[in-house]
Amino acid sequence: MRFLYSLLAGFFLVGSLRAERSIIVDNQTGRILEDIGANRRVPVASLTKLALAMVTLDWSELKGGNLDQTATVPEVAITTTGGINPLHLQAGDVLTLRDLLFACLLASDNVAAVTLANHLGSALPNPTGLDPVGNTVSQMNALAHALGMHHTLFLNPHGLDVSEGAEPGSSAADLARLTRYGYSKPGLEFYVSQPTRQIHVQRGASSLSVVLNNTNKLLGVDHIDGVKTGRTSRAGDCIILTSEHTPEVKHEGDTVLTTPRRIIVVLLDGTNREQEGLSLVRHGWDLYNAWAAKGRPAKTSNSL
């Protein structure tokens, strides 16, 4: 860990970087502190899984929070993910929905994403008769629409590039909206802040323990505690980061005013998500502190 901190600190000896498509937002108010090409739709790789996670958590909340039920890895999860299967899941493996969520959010496993979508799509209302995975994707798009994510189109639950036809994608601003929504609900913050997690895979008569390592290498650096990484050839390096500082407390007579302090950073189409992402977080806190020093002026036109 000491080596990681030294390495990350060394990145800034050559100056800060700015991505062509990024946004920095105050989570509490939605105030945009800086945006660069933030409304342009581009491929977003595995950041897509954040929408899948929120549909799952919303469904679970509606159904009483039961994530202990199990799902079976279908053959379609193996055949539609291009062999990108870091956990080496096999058709017929059985996992809890909770462990599938961890596999999606920490290890960014695509087979886990299709398995989760397949199970969820069989349980969700399906008035148009879509296949289960397609039904879940339609719910991801419905959530995007409800949140005002006007530059977003999900075509699959994992974010892999498609070979032909319409290209799935989103924008930095839209993903900041999705992240704010996620942090307004119970559950997501815990999942994405875990550096590691042990899950269990039932394979026939055998119970296998698998240790997941979070692909977000910036956890714990500069108060970063989430959220998700992504990378494909078309999307480049992508990352969503949150960083939380101690709440600001003010006393006005007998009244105590507490202001949460958390910023959201979204970087798309980068070349080095750790280096560029950390640069944006540090720059974001400079912008936040300057804004807070002015009394956090509100401006609707500059907010999500």
Q: 1-35 pLDDT, tens per residue?
A: 443 434 444 433 334 455 679 999 999 999 999 99
For residue 53, which of 169, 145, 186, 200 has the smallest C-alpha distance?
186
266 to 87, 193, 202: CA distances (angstroms):
26, 16, 36
Which residues have C-beta within 8 Å of that of residue 5, sequence separation ≥ 6? Answer: 221
Instruction: Assess whether pLDDT exceeds 50 at residue 180.
Output: yes
CA end-to-end span of the chain, whole Å? 35
Q: Tell me: the pLDDT tens digits for 43-80?
A: 999 999 999 999 999 999 987 768 999 999 999 999 99
Q: Which residue has the higher pLDDT, 86 or 111?
A: 111
Look at residue 42 in the predicted model and tell me its pLDDT: 96
33, 75 contact by CB (below 8 A): no
pLDDT of res. 19? 61
pLDDT at 107 over 90: yes
Tell me the C-alpha distance between 304 and 293, whole Å: 21
pLDDT at 66: 85
Is the confidence at residue 98, as pLDDT, over 50?
yes
Query: Count of residues for the chain?
Result: 304
Among 171, 183, 143, 176, CA closest to 56: 143
Q: What is the 3-state secondary structure (H, E, C) of 190-213?
A: HHHCCCEEEEEEEECCEEEEEEEE
Q: What is the pLDDT of residues 145-161, one digit of tens each?
A: 999 999 999 999 999 99
Q: What is the pLDDT of residue 167?
A: 84
Give the integer Cα–Cα distance in Å for 32 and 26. Answer: 7
Arithmetic mean of pLDDT over the chain: 91
The C-alpha atoms of residue 152 and residue 166 are separated, in whole angstroms, by 12
Strand positions, DSSP E, 89-192: 94-96
- For residue 227, whether the previous peptide bond is cis, meaning omega lies within 30 degrees of 0, is yes
Q: What is the per-residue pLDDT for 301?
A: 82
Selection from 180, 175, 146 nearest residue 159 by Cα: 175
Percent of the chain with pLDDT over 90: 81
Ramachandran assignment for 296, one of left (phi > 0), alpha (psi -120 to 50 degrees), beta (any other): left
Q: Are 209 and 200 in contact (CB under 8 A)?
A: yes
Residue 14: predicted pLDDT:
34
Q: Do 245 and 285 touch, CB atoms closer than 8 A?
A: yes
Which residue segments constitute the domains of the chain, with CATH numbers given? 2-302 (3.40.710.10)
Q: Give the pLDDT of residue 15.
A: 41
Mean pLDDT of 159-186: 92
